[in-house]
Amino acid sequence: MRRIACIDGRLHAPEDAKVSVYDRGFLYGDSVFETIRTYGGRPFALDEHVRRLERSAAQVAIPMPIDPPAFAAEIERALAAAANPESYVRATLTRGSGPPGLDPRLATHPLRVILVEPLKLLPAAMYRDGVSVITHRTERACDAAHGAKVGNYLASVLAIRKACDVGAHEALILNTAGQIVEGTTSNVFVVQGRTLITPPEEAGILAGITRAHILAIAGEAGLSVTLRPLVPEDVHTADEVFLSSSLREILPVVVVDGAPIGSGKPGAHTQALHLAFRRHVGMGDAKAPWEG
């Protein structure tokens, strides 16, 4: 199992990978990024991820140093160099290096970093038994960046710390209006009857790639889709709740703020949708995640 770092198109072993301390990604979190995983060794929805990276960069006025197809090709090359059975990729674009100062014109050459790591799946017990989450009110850097996937995750780091303090897996972020927008690194869904509900993009969420594919295949699990803002009561009174992300796929939530959701066990609709998603990504013959 290998780890690879690709910096501006050059491959490095992790211990040899170096970025300037004057890089604005380090100094100010002045960066955007994507997380991508493989299935059967191939990156899932690679073009979608790279195009979203391009959109995020445009929203914060970081110019793309190479075009999206070339960026995707670099990711593929780094994955091939790692040659892991399955990997995940963190692709980061910073504004580049320059003298300290907030003026973005101080940096003129954006830096791109592609990290390839062996994929480590969550324990099967998390899918079989579900996880607990908390709700947490905060303001995020991405709120000012209009949904761009920016590198400044301090608010999310502090929210996760709160969750860890009480033994929870994730924190659901409440905005200033008291609405649940998403998790720190996930999108959130509730199931009421046969309706799948999740906040719309206008609520200030990061429009996850996995989220989009889940919405597209919801009908295969017998679910209709409603996009609307969520409040804590929607989650507490839901029949089922789950999180989605590139690495976790679909992760059932059984406790919110210490209170059980529905039966207190992963719901049938959540599991049916997860199986549909696995078929969708070409892993329908593999064991279900809760089977280990």
- Are residues 153 and 83 part of one domain? no
pLDDT value at residue 27: 95
- Are residues 148 and 131 part of one domain? yes
- Are residues 235 and 103 part of one domain? no
Neighbours of 182 (CB within 10 A): 28
- Are residues 223 and 152 part of one domain? yes
Distances (CA, A) of 3 to 35, 59, 118, 157: 15, 30, 7, 24
Which of residues 63, 97, 118 is at a domain's end?
Answer: 118
- Are residues 270 and 197 part of one domain? yes
pLDDT value at residue 144: 59
* Domain of residue 67, CATH code: 3.30.470.10
Spatial CB neighbours of 213, under 8 Å, sequence gap ≥ 6: 45, 277, 280, 281
Which of residues 98, 118, 138 is at a domain's end?
Answer: 118
Q: Which two tokens stand for residue 41?
A: 């060794």
Spatial CB neighbours of 157, under 8 Å, sequence gap ≥ 6: 184
- Are residues 274 and 223 part of one domain? yes
Number of domains in the chain: 2
- Are residues 278 and 241 part of one domain? yes
DSSP string, 149-179: -BS--HHHHHHHHHHHHTT-SEEEEE-TTS-
Domain that holds residue 138: 124-291
- Are residues 157 and 228 part of one domain? yes
The pTM score is 0.94
Taking only the tens place, the pLDDT of each residue in 163-203 is: 999 999 999 999 989 999 999 999 999 999 999 999 999 99
- Are residues 100 and 150 part of one domain? no
Distances (CA, A) of 142 to 93, 150, 156, 270: 15, 6, 11, 28
> Tens digit of pLDDT per residue, the chain (292 long)?
899 999 999 999 999 999 999 999 999 999 999 999 999 999 999 999 999 999 999 999 999 999 999 999 999 999 999 999 999 999 999 999 999 999 999 999 999 999 999 999 999 999 999 999 999 998 766 665 666 888 888 989 999 999 999 999 999 999 989 999 999 999 999 999 999 999 999 998 989 999 999 999 999 999 999 999 999 999 999 999 999 999 999 999 999 999 999 999 999 999 999 999 999 999 988 899 999 7
- Are residues 282 and 155 part of one domain? yes
Which of residues 55, 89, 118 is at a domain's end?
Answer: 118
* Domain of residue 236, CATH code: 3.20.10.10
- Are residues 166 and 43 part of one domain? no
- Are residues 91 and 161 part of one domain? no
Distances (CA, A) of 290 to 134, 248, 287: 23, 12, 8
Distance CA 184, CA 202 (A): 17
